[in-house]
Chain A
């Protein structure tokens, strides 16, 4: 029994180890938070020439799906983003000083950034 337990432990260790090789699990930042929405917000703010003091950092909600992102403009007004990483394309909205500046998917923003127009 002891040896079977050791074998099972070994398999679990092995599987955890293997998953460590995969970007999708073991090295994913913030315990499951996808970086795409954070990246897309950065690209949108720069593309729209928003003067930024603090670029938004995002946090993952307790539901494991919703991301809430907060930053600040040079003028001291808030930058707010919300998105859902569980939905295809990772849709998000972005407001600056309460004004809506963008709605779309993070995947599309990143695809445009990674390709020539």
Chain B
């Protein structure tokens, strides 16, 4: 804390110790210690790769990938001297596409995977029962990355860029929030202690049966192993998540806004979710839809009526109903985030009670005195998986960006959709319509605000880094897309914005694996053991292009340069030091050990 005067240091130390209920000397020692690069288990240190290129393969530990310097926006070679005088501005975590799944819900139309396993690859995944375990593993990994691997700066916050609840289930939403806030979770619905679903129903050829996969298309056709006890362990063993040690922020993904990521919901889907009948065969699901078309009443009424009327004799099974499977409304998503403790916080995770009252689904947060994080809702609730930005939200965004620019604040944007997928302008047939902004106009507007330096997103389940060069030829911003937590590679990121004090900024971003070991041991059904198994099952999913999901080396661990958007000396060293001190003490109090 050499940037602070002795008097300021003592005042700050006393204040922070009191605020967090920590001994004064403990806080003083922590703040007096110079920041050194953290020994963080990112993929800088070690990666996880396949042991072979054909057939069902195991995963193994592989060498790390160092930072690759990218100058696409800077347009010239970076100064070698930048490493000598740089200072960290903010260090954050990023997770996306968590896809927490209640696979036993009747509303999960897993049977569609039996119709076309490629087209409907999101309807059934062999590893889908273990998402809370994976999420907890990523929480642990991010907590372990509390000090930056570049500068040693403390982790300030984590942003989650959506698709948290796979099929808009209230239970999925609660599991995910509890995993990030901290808590004990048993990822089961319906009958206590028992799994009722396609992974134990022998007629479901499209599903992986861990007890004996020899008769399903995963084991029989693709070499998936028998893992006795996996289903029981995944759905019956309580998972103890420590919760993130830093504040976290959340936004909508299309799966949080639309049923199955693209379908508007009505009372029918909710009735289906709350019911006691679940389709087990693709033919049953097809018949259900067919009945709807031929109806002389509403589509929804006949959809529901047909699944009930078809009873148990036509590829439909009885399951134990569960009120927690309720399909959430659009605003339930915001409201549930407010049902959250003060630590790690913030309560609402970006959303506020005012947002609930006024039906606002986006927010801005001053995560430090010199960095604003803006979370948008790019989902189109009319229909479809792609996104766009409604005009009213776009106008609000421009006002926020102008405000941040006037205050010399850097801006990090968080959206679910990427620049490649902001292309959905579907309008409702009934009800109010408004202009929807697509990628080109969105990016063009962002270029008017050079203080926008980074855009974090997900959606495509791909690691990707895209430079957006300002058409003026000077500056731009970096778009950083993260892979999903459900499909291979099940990774998050840590990202740090650094002022090089030479008129340039570097954004260091590194991919992070969840905490399960690379090699799966089918006899280890602990939380981390299931994490390893899940990653291996995901890596072998023949219906996803798993090699490309990793992205290229230019999309993973990189130092991304760009010209400083304004005179960075306007952000004083003292302001930065104070922000880091507050973050460091918070980590000390929450066990983050920065």
Of listed B70, B293, B461, residue having the most chain A CB within 10 A: B293
B296 contacts which chain A residues (CB < 8 A)? 3-4
- Interface positions of B from 526 to 548, Cβ below 8 Å from A: 544-548
- Interface positions of A from 31 to 75, Cβ below 8 Å from B: 31, 34-36, 38-43, 45-46, 53-55, 57, 74
Contact call B547/A110, Cβ cutoff below 8 A = yes
Is B277 engaged at the interface, CB distance under 8 Å to the other chain?
Answer: no
Contact call B383/A53, Cβ cutoff below 8 A = no
Partner of B295 from the list A3, A41, A53, A54 (CB cut-off 8 Å) is A3
- The smallest beta-carbon distance between A42 and chain B, in angstroms, is 3
A9 to B299, CA, bound (A): 9
Closest to A108 in B: B53
Among listed B116-124, B142-150, B199-207, B404-412, interface-contacting one: B116-124
A43 to B547, CA, bound (A): 12
Contact call A113/B261, Cβ cutoff below 8 A = no
- The smallest beta-carbon distance between A14 and chain B, in angstroms, is 6
Q: Mark A70-104, 1 if CB is under 8 A from B, else 0.
A: 00001000000000000000000000000000000
Closest to B299 in A: A10
Is B289 engaged at the interface, CB distance under 8 Å to the other chain?
Answer: yes
- Interface positions of B from 119 to 141, Cβ below 8 Å from A: 119-123
B71 contacts which chain A residues (CB < 8 A)? 53, 74
Is B302 engaged at the interface, CB distance under 8 Å to the other chain?
Answer: yes
Partner of A55 from the list B72, B298, B548 (CB cut-off 8 Å) is B72
The main secondary structure of chain A at its interface with chain B is helix
A116 to B254, CA, bound (A): 35
Partner of B118 from the list A3, A22, A46, A116 (CB cut-off 8 Å) is A22
Contact call B57/A21, Cβ cutoff below 8 A = no
Contact call A14/B552, Cβ cutoff below 8 A = no
Closest to A29 in B: B420
Q: Mark B250-273, 1 if CB is under 8 A from A, else 0.
A: 000011001111111000000000
Q: Mark B226-259, 1 if CB is under 8 A from A, else 0.
A: 0000000000000000000000000000110011
Q: Mark A5-36, 1 if CB is under 8 A from B, else 0.
A: 01111110110111111111111111100111
A14 contacts which chain B residues (CB < 8 A)? 263, 289
Count of CB-CB pairs between chains A and B under 8 Å: 177
A72 to B123, CA, bound (A): 41
Is B555 engaged at the interface, CB distance under 8 Å to the other chain?
Answer: yes
Closest to B466 in A: A57
Q: Mark B83-127, 1 if CB is under 8 A from A, else 0.
A: 000000000000000000000000001001000001111110000
A18 contacts which chain B residues (CB < 8 A)? 109, 112, 119-120, 123, 260, 262-263
B295 contacts which chain A residues (CB < 8 A)? 3-4, 7
Given contacts A24-B121, A39-B551, A6 and B298 within 8 Å (CB-CB): yes
Contact call B548/A27, Cβ cutoff below 8 A = no
A14 to B365, CA, bound (A): 36
Closest to A33 in B: B420
A7 to B545, CA, bound (A): 34
Given contacts A6-B299, A20-B262, A55-B70, A110 and B548 within 8 Å (CB-CB): yes
Contact call A7/B299, Cβ cutoff below 8 A = yes
Closest to A53 in B: B71
- The smallest beta-carbon distance between B271 and chain A, in angstroms, is 15
Contact call B459/A7, Cβ cutoff below 8 A = no
A20 contacts which chain B residues (CB < 8 A)? 254, 258, 260-263, 384-386
Partner of B293 from the list A7, A24, A35, A55 (CB cut-off 8 Å) is A7
Given contacts A17-B384, A35-B462, A29 and B418 within 8 Å (CB-CB): yes
A6 to B266, CA, bound (A): 14
- The smallest beta-carbon distance between B332 and chain A, in angstroms, is 19
A41 contacts which chain B residues (CB < 8 A)? 552
Closest to A110 in B: B547
Contact call A74/B547, Cβ cutoff below 8 A = no
- Interface positions of B from 1 to 59, Cβ below 8 Å from A: 49-53, 57
Is B320 engaged at the interface, CB distance under 8 Å to the other chain?
Answer: no
Contact call B261/A17, Cβ cutoff below 8 A = yes
Contact call A30/B420, Cβ cutoff below 8 A = yes
Given contacts A6-B299, A20-B261, A42 and B548 within 8 Å (CB-CB): no
Is B464 engaged at the interface, CB distance under 8 Å to the other chain?
Answer: yes
A29 contacts which chain B residues (CB < 8 A)? 418, 420-421, 460, 462
What 8 A-B pairs are tightest by C-beta distance, nearest first?
A20-B385, A20-B262, A17-B263, A21-B122, A17-B262, A29-B420, A42-B552, A26-B385
What is the interface of chain B, defined by CB distance below 8 A to chain A? 49-53, 57, 60, 62, 68, 70-72, 75-77, 109, 112, 118-123, 254-255, 258-264, 289, 292-300, 302-303, 383-386, 418, 420-421, 423, 459-462, 464, 466-467, 487, 544-548, 550-555
28 contacts between A and B (CB under 8 A): A3-B298, A4-B295, A4-B296, A10-B293, A10-B300, A13-B263, A16-B262, A17-B260, A17-B261, A17-B262, A18-B109, A19-B385, A20-B384, A23-B121, A23-B122, A23-B461, A27-B386, A30-B420, A36-B545, A39-B548, A39-B555, A55-B467, A111-B53, A114-B49, A114-B550, A115-B53, A116-B49, A116-B51
